[in-house]
A and B are shown apart, each in its own frame.
Chain A
Amino acid sequence: MNITNSLRDPAVIRALGAQLKNLSLSRKITLMEVCGTHTMALHRGGIPSLLPDTVRLLSGPGCPVCVTPASYIDRAQEIGKNYGVTLTSFGDMLRVPGNTKSLSESRSEGINVETVYSPLAALDMARKHPAIEVVFLAVGFETTVPPIAMTVMNARDQGIDNFSILTAHKLIMPALELLVNDSDVRVDGFILPGHVSLILGSEPYRPIAEKYSRACVITGFETADIIQGIIMLAQQIEISQPSVEIQYCRAVKKDGNPQARGVIDTVFEPADSEWRGFGTIPLSGLNLREEFADFDASKKFPVEVNAETVQTGCRCGDVLRGRIEPAECALFGRNCTPEHPVGPCMVSSEGTCAAHYKYSRTR
């Protein structure tokens, strides 16, 4: 039996579930799962219903679609409209509202938008149709950047000049640092993202534990992983010895994946970046380096976009910062549902509001 199989052994999961339910703590604690994949996985596993009264779980900013600002969607639409390019995107982005409409709505009005499963598929499209300009919407945290960087390198090496990317990549560390410095957000420990840590390793998180005294556990995505991660965090907090532990040790190494970081570094450089709900965070995004400027859609297809965000009453920003839970937003489940989403947290398959609505709302 391999590790993943034992993590799926119903007896193991049931025992861990019972352990979580009976967890006895000397005080109330608040934990945050940073990553959207964790948000979905833990709701799917029914974990919120197992938490003892002493453990509160908040969702963090690690859903790439959710933190992408409305102005990015607007820019993509303007490029599509003014230059007649074909926009290619992961499916999740299509329904995310911009300031006036979503890409899905613009598509019905005639802008070319195609869903792809990988950046390489977008590059393939450009190769097969040299007369069409293909723009890939490059969204995501450290996990999704290496394949996109490889795709840009391929495009350059193969001389494919009708391909470019519109970047809205985000880095997780600057957001975490902002959160631990936010006096409105009282988090005792972080369930740290497994996939991102495959690339980063555990070292970058050390200041969170050592300087800011927050418990940290890099956690896998099985129900059993997450329960174990929560229990490990509770133990760190209980003995007041915050550190960075790796629960997801079958995949994450201490120094992460240096080759993947090298690929990122070859193609991209850190840059200030706007986050929905956070505003602009210094050096929290990635832009293409000068030598890859030919593949930068924002330079290739300049457009004017209003930087202001239209107020809709949506509180995704507060949800992403862990300031409120979805049900505290006046729109949640009333004006804002997966069918008619107002904010991105209700759209994305990793969105906090979508997870709460789909798995845990009370009717």
Chain B
Amino acid sequence: MTDGNIVGTGERIQLLHGSGGLMMQRLIREIFFPAFGADNDAGFDDAAEITLHDGPLAFSTDSFVVKPLFFPGGDIGSLAVSGTVNDILMKGAKPYCLSLALIIEEGFPLAELKTIVKSLADTAKIADVRIVTGDTKVVGRGEIDGLVINTSGIGEILPNASISGVNARPGDVLLVSGEVGNHGIAVMAERNGLKLKGNIASDAAPLNASVIPMLERFGESVHVLRDPTRGGVAATINEIAEASKVTVLLDESSLPVGREVEAVSELLGFDPLYLPCEGRFLAFVDGGKAESILRFLREDAGCPDATQIGTVTETSNGEVLMTTVSGGQRIIDMPAGELLPRIC
């Protein structure tokens, strides 16, 4: 298949690709359907038909406006699948299917679109989730910045999971599944044109392979799950502390921050605690089970850098404190204002 086959008139997206006519049909038939394994005829039905078992479902949606579209370790496609898949997982649910909507700017290079579609498909495969329905719109040049993606998804909540941001309680231990801040630094460095030689790559990835086995084995002991996306670890823990009405005490010396992330954060003036991750989770777990869960994550669930970073000390109005390396103590606050625009 060549580009000429698809468009016949060039290698960029035209308004006609969103007009509902022949060119749109060909775009969908020749690029989207093969990537997502859709049926060439039934694929054009107005809605997907799905059958689920009984029991509660998790349903989530997310839009992606990341700039730039391609960054070390990922692109808007891998992000768009991981983002929604992880949100469903954080409710203790196994992702089942996704919808996918693309809004494309006229003139968008077809080759880039193909790369992103492949990335969407590959990530969906890793996440063991099907993209079952979709939509494509094309808007005029300058009306949006390249490409915007929305994904929504449904998952089935695991029978032994009862997970919510209000469930943290004194005695809980706070675990993080790996190094923090990598996604934020990868995107900001790319956007600022920093040529980084080191190994900074976005952590964007679906979390199925670690979360599902952890819940199957320790579901009852996991009280809160949350992926620290916008606002990073600091904002996420603040949200949970407030919702659960507890005090969380972090230990600065145990925070897993990579050397490169630390160095670039210093250069750009960021605090890694506030940088978004797209492939990490925070778990508030029963204190008595924390060690077993941590060992399981490290040895059997593909999270070798998982570590304990804090504890829930008492009930309160919701505050987050940190013991600093010097032995002092300070507040970890909600970020005020816009720190990092268009990071996901």
Contacts and interface: CB of A to CB of B under 8 A. Distances in A.
Interface of A: 10, 13-14, 16-18, 20-21, 43-50, 95, 117, 223-224, 227, 337-339, 349, 357-361, 363
B327 A43 contact: no
Nearest to B335: A338
A360 B326 contact: no
Interface in B322-344: 322-331, 333, 336-337
A95 B330 contact: no
B319 interface: yes
Contacts of B330: 43-46, 48-49, 359-360
B336 A338 contact: yes
9 contacts: A14-B327, A16-B326, A17-B328, A44-B324, A46-B329, A49-B328, A49-B329, A357-B333, A361-B331
B253 interface: yes
A287 B192 CA distance: 31
Contacts of B324: 44-46, 223
B37 to A, nearest CB: 44
Contacts of A359: 330-331, 333
A43 B333 CA distance: 12
B269 interface: yes
Contact of B336 (A18, A48, A339, A361): A339
A271 B323 CA distance: 46
Interface of B: 192, 253, 269, 271, 317, 319, 322-331, 333, 336-337
B327 to A, nearest CB: 4
B31 to A, nearest CB: 36
Contacts of B322: 46
Contacts of A360: 330-331
Contacts of B336: 337-339
A46 B333 contact: no
Contacts of A13: 325-326
Main DSSP-derived SS at the B contact region: loop
A209 B238 CA distance: 45
A360 B300 CA distance: 40
A43 B322 CA distance: 12
Nearest to A16: B326
Contacts of B269: 349
A360 B269 CA distance: 20
Given A49-B330, A95-B337, A337-B336, 11 more contacts: A14-B325, A21-B327, A44-B271, A45-B326, A46-B329, A49-B328, A223-B324, A357-B333, A358-B331, A360-B330, A360-B331
Nearest to B271: A44
A339 B269 CA distance: 20
A46 B328 contact: yes
Nearest to A43: B330
A95 B325 CA distance: 32
A10 B323 CA distance: 12
Contact of A50 (B192, B319, B328): B328
B235 to A, nearest CB: 13
A223 B324 CA distance: 10
Given A349-B269, A363-B319, A45 B328 contact: yes
Contact of B337 (A47, A223, A339, A363): A339
Contact of A10 (B192, B253, B317, B328): B253
Contacts of A16: 326
Q: Which 3 A-B pairs have the closest CB atoms?
A: A46-B328, A17-B326, A46-B324
Given A360-B331, A363-B319, A227 B337 contact: no
B154 to A, nearest CB: 35
Nearest to B268: A117
A21 B269 CA distance: 29
Contacts of B337: 95, 338-339
Contacts of B325: 10, 13-14, 17, 45, 223
Given A338-B336, A359-B331, A223 B326 contact: yes
Contacts of A44: 271, 324, 330
Contacts of A10: 253, 325
Contacts of A224: 326
Nearest to B192: A117
B256 to A, nearest CB: 14
A227 B336 CA distance: 28
B137 to A, nearest CB: 28
Nearest to B318: A363
B327 A18 contact: yes
Contacts of A349: 269
B192, B322, B323, B324 — most chain A CB neighbours (10 Å)? B324
Contacts of A339: 336-337
A17 B317 contact: no
Contacts of B328: 17, 45-50
A44 B323 CA distance: 10
A139 B325 CA distance: 34
B327 A50 contact: yes
Nearest to B327: A17
A138 B325 CA distance: 36
A167 B330 CA distance: 36
A17 to B, nearest CB: 3
A256 B330 CA distance: 34
B192, B271, B322, B325: which has the most chain A beta carbons within 10 Å?
A: B325
Given A338-B337, A359-B333, A361-B331, A46 B323 contact: yes
A232 to B, nearest CB: 16
Contacts of A223: 324-326
A111 B305 CA distance: 48
A129 B272 CA distance: 36
B276 to A, nearest CB: 18
Nearest to A95: B337
Contacts of B331: 358-361
- Most chain A beta-carbon contacts within 10 A, residue among B269, B322, B337: B337
A358 B330 CA distance: 9
A223 B327 CA distance: 11
Contacts of B327: 14, 17-18, 21, 46, 50
